[in-house]
Amino acid sequence: MDTASAPPLAAPLDIAFDYTRSLGPVLGRFMTGLRDRRVLGARTADGRVHVPPLEYDPATHAPVTELVPVPPTGTVTSWTWTDRPLDGQPLERPFGWALIRLDGADTALLHAVDAGTRESMRTGMRVRIRWAAERSGHIRDIACFEPDAGPPHPPDDSTSGDPGTSSGAGANGELVTGITTPIRLSYTHTTSAEESRYLHALSEGRLLGQRCPACRKVYVPPRVCPADGVPTEEEVPVRDHGTVTTFCVVNVPFAGQRLDPPYVVAQVLLDGADIPIPHLILGEAGDVRMGMRVAAVWRDPATWSTTPENIAHFRPTGEPDAPYESYQEHL
Amino acid sequence: MRRAAVLGTGQTQHQTRRTDVSMAGLCREAIDRALADAGVDWPQIDAVVLGKAPDLFEGVMMPELFLADALGAAGRPLLRVHTAGSVGGATGVVATSLVRAGIHHRVLAVAFEKQSESNAMWALSIQPPFTAPIGAGAGGYFAPHVRAYIRRSNAPEHVGAMVAVKDRRNGALNPYAHLRQPEITLNSVQASPMLWDPIRYDETCPSSDGACAMVIGDQAAAEASERPVAWIRATAMRTEPTYFAGKDHVNPRAGAEAAQALWQAAGITDPLTEVDVAEIYVPFSWFEPMWLENLGFAEAGHGWKLTESGETQIGGRLPVNPSGGVLCSNPIGASGMLRFAEAARQVMGRAGEHQVAGAKTALGHAYGGGSQFFSMWVVGDTPGR
């Protein structure tokens, strides 16, 4: 393959973590209220009621301590429409995203309105909370809002959502103190032109370096020289033999780990290169030394692709150790 | 140049999980203490600067947006600073610059991390496509460089454990510290599990929730203060690439050049003699001798001798991390500011049980990324020249 003209490589990078949130006294009571089908707003020193609640008064900066119930009905103050809901949004059919000022509140809450059609949405429309069947103390306890034909509730109306269920509010569990917020991020990771050439060469069993035209250092993998800020262009083959400059024995297990500890991650200065690459050394962990000579152990060529994992690991060659002076500038 | 001073500092109780507070509440615990320590109230604050390590650590993009109310930023400028683990120090330097530039009279600097909301080890070990699965968190990154230091300096193996014993015992004097271990011994450290050989469990920083805040004021604000202030004698920041051919991971050039600029700006020619106490960012024990050399307190290869001879203990020639340091509390984004604030507390005479007697000149230091970002300051009990 003409690696010089090969297009950049791209592959998905999906990362995910179930983050936790400790809520503190204000948001904890708000979430507990939602679980119990009650909406609480924060009253600040100027008398305004904020829904969702603020933890600190933006004018006085004092902690908010007073939470007041507001009714489950309100008015749309502005809106937009989504024809194609995305994964994780409140509704799977087209819906309105609306700013909704609950009766008795002075600020608006962003949520979904299950209005059926765009034509049914309008600023000033009356809406009511549709509670989720299963509630845990989370903003998703409000499944969405739906159009409401009833009269406005007075601000001091503290009845909860559905008739006949308010008596149990607040009595069915402990204070909610935390929530889990799963976050999924999906990227397309694209390599640079220099890295792409390196990876294409790897898929052919070759290790490719490039020499910086300014400092003359050979970079593996090739990259814009970090010291001089200029692209490297002159391609230089490097050997799949090298010297361990330094290393770490990883004994600690952790989330997302792909290898079973213990294993050795070494900085390997390939012969002909001026910067080490990190890779695995297999064998007895206790035998790995600074200065040890090692060679790449390639996987079956039938499995090769554009990845450094074509090299399964490095193995000791049995040659005498490289003298410290030969690699001390690379530590 | 205009003068600036730390008027007050505040920090949280640092621990593994502060599930009693939200991120906003965590920040405010430190902020409210800093305002009280400075003897100032919200109307006197002109601007807010927030520092926090990578957003992946809490999974909140740009937390400064939702924290604006809690940080008292309504109606004021709010800046966010990003420099990985050094960010707490960089945040202090940015706040100082705003005062020294004559733009603001009093600036509130805040830094935090709520590590319990996620897992930094996971966040620091994400494997992008086209790479080998070899990442192993911060310990996996720094352990090879610690090994290189030991080889280069011929330091005895027990020096790392000595740092851990000193810092954990110092932490026992600090009521805010996450780890307080007055009974720790050299033997117990050396018997603790080897996590990232050559770094042992007891030579590793904990994972903490915590925050730190400082009020930084101009000369008029400092002179109006009823309590002693910490005059900011000099600041310095430098950066270098994470990797480049010939990078010295043991003694990074950016750190050495920042230190050189710092001492020059502070009028210090012999740091070991002229600095009374140092709060240095030591997340793994061996970084104490490494940074002693990088900062110019010792010649290259000799930093470990200061540690081994006990000179970095409280009562020694240069007490290092009398607060217990990062080895006792590591709310990552705040860890650098804690170093800066603890240096200030020393020269204000407000360091409590870990006060170094007669401390007049102190260093605060932080680093971040792959030994890539460096920030530091010198504070004193007088404005200096």
How high is the pLDDT of residue A12?
Answer: 97
Half-sphere exposure of residue A264: CA atoms within 13 angstroms, side-chain side: 24
Which residues in chain B have Cβ-Cβ distances shorter than 8 Å to A22?
A: 17-22, 114, 116-117
**Is A258–B127 a contact, with Cβ atoms under 8 angstroms apart?**
yes
A235 assigned to some structural domain: no
- Phi-psi category of residue A212: left, alpha or beta, with phi > 0 → left and psi -120 to 50 → alpha: beta
Over residues A299-315, the mean pLDDT reads 95
- The DSSP bridge partners found for residue A110 are A99
Which is it for strands A39-43 and A109-113: parallel, antiparallel or unpaired? unpaired
A247 assigned to some structural domain: yes
The distance of A91 to chain B (nearest Cα, Å) reads 24
Q: Are B227 and B348 in contact (CB under 8 A)?
A: yes
Which residues in chain B have Cβ-Cβ distances shorter than 8 Å to A331?
A: 145, 148, 151-152, 248-250
Of B28, B114, B129, Cβ closest to residue A189: B129
Which residues in chain A have Cβ-Cβ distances shorter than 8 Å to B246?
A: 217, 227, 274-275, 329-330
Among the three residues A145, A176, A207, which one is the final residue of a domain in this structure?
A176
Whether the link from the prior residue into A69 is cis, omega within 30° of 0, is: no
B280-316 per-position pLDDT tens digit? 999 999 999 999 999 999 999 999 999 999 999 999 9
Nearest CA in chain A to B250: A331
Which residues in chain A have Cβ-Cβ distances shorter than 8 Å to B42?
A: 60-61
How high is the pLDDT of residue A184?
Answer: 92
Contacts for B79 with CB less than 8 Å, ≥ 6 apart? B47, B48, B49, B50, B94
Over residues A60-88, the mean pLDDT reads 96
The distance of A116 to chain B (nearest Cα, Å) reads 32
Among the three residues A151, A176, A201, which one is the final residue of a domain in this structure?
A176
Q: Number of CB pairs < 8 Å for A and B?
A: 185
Best residue of A210, A248, A306, A328 to probe chain B, by most B CBs closer than 10 Å: A248
pLDDT at residue A181 above 70?
yes
Nearest CA in chain A to B116: A20
Q: Are B337 and B190 in contact (CB under 8 A)?
A: no
| Contact residues, A window 156-185, toward B, CB-based 8 Å cutoff | 177-178, 181, 183
Counting the structural domains of chain A, the total is: 2
How high is the pLDDT of residue A260?
Answer: 83
CA distance B39 to B41: 7
Which residues in chain A have Cβ-Cβ distances shorter than 8 Å to B119?
A: 17, 254-255
Which residues in chain B have Cβ-Cβ distances shorter than 8 Å to A274?
A: 245-246
Interface confidence (ipTM) of the complex: 0.92
B146-186 per-position pLDDT tens digit? 999 999 999 999 999 999 999 999 999 999 999 999 999 99
Of A57, A274, A331, Cβ closest to residue B245: A274
Among the three residues A142, A176, A210, which one is the final residue of a domain in this structure?
A176
Smallest CA-to-CA distance from A218 within A199, A234, A194, A198 is with A234
Q: What is the largest CA-CA distance in chain B?
A: 60
Note down the domain range covering A116. 24-176
B331 three-state secondary structure: coil
A240-268 per-position pLDDT tens digit? 999 999 999 999 888 778 788 888 999 99
| Other CB atoms within 10 Å distance of the CB of residue B165 | 22
CA distance A117 to A324: 74
Structure tokens at A86: 């995305």
User: What is the DSSP-derived secondary structure letter of residue A322?
Assistant: P
A157 assigned to some structural domain: yes
Which residues in chain B have Cβ-Cβ distances shorter than 8 Å to A188?
A: none
Residue type (1 letter), A45:
A
CB-count exposure of residue B76 (10 Å: 0-12, 13-18, 19+): middle
Domain boundaries, given as residue ranges, for chain B: 4-118+206-380
How high is the pLDDT of residue A258?
Answer: 77
Let me know whether A167 and A254 are in one domain.
Answer: no
How high is the pLDDT of residue B346?
Answer: 98
| Contact residues, A window 201-240, toward B, CB-based 8 Å cutoff | 212, 215, 217-219, 225-227
Structure tokens at A175: 């204070």
How high is the pLDDT of residue A232?
Answer: 85
pLDDT top residue among A256 and A214: A214
**Is A309–B133 a contact, with Cβ atoms under 8 angstroms apart?**
yes
The backbone torsions φ and ψ at residue B5, rounded to the nearest 5 degrees and listed phi first, read -145, 155
How high is the pLDDT of residue A105?
Answer: 98
Over residues A184-205, the mean pLDDT reads 93
Residues of chain B falling short of pLDDT 50: none
pLDDT at residue A167 above 50?
no
Which residues in chain A have Cβ-Cβ distances shorter than 8 Å to B19?
A: 22, 177-178
Smallest CA-to-CA distance from B9 within B302, B385, B362 is with B362
* Whether A323 contacts chain B with CB within 8 A: no
CA distance B247 to A164: 71
pLDDT top residue among A153 and A26: A26
The distance of A3 to chain B (nearest Cα, Å) reads 16
A4-40 per-position pLDDT tens digit? 566 899 999 999 999 999 999 999 999 999 999 999 9
CA A196 to chain centre: 25
How high is the pLDDT of residue A165?
Answer: 37
* Whether A321 contacts chain B with CB within 8 A: no
How high is the pLDDT of residue B132?
Answer: 84
How high is the pLDDT of residue A152?
Answer: 64
* Domain B4-118+206-380 top-level CATH class: alpha beta
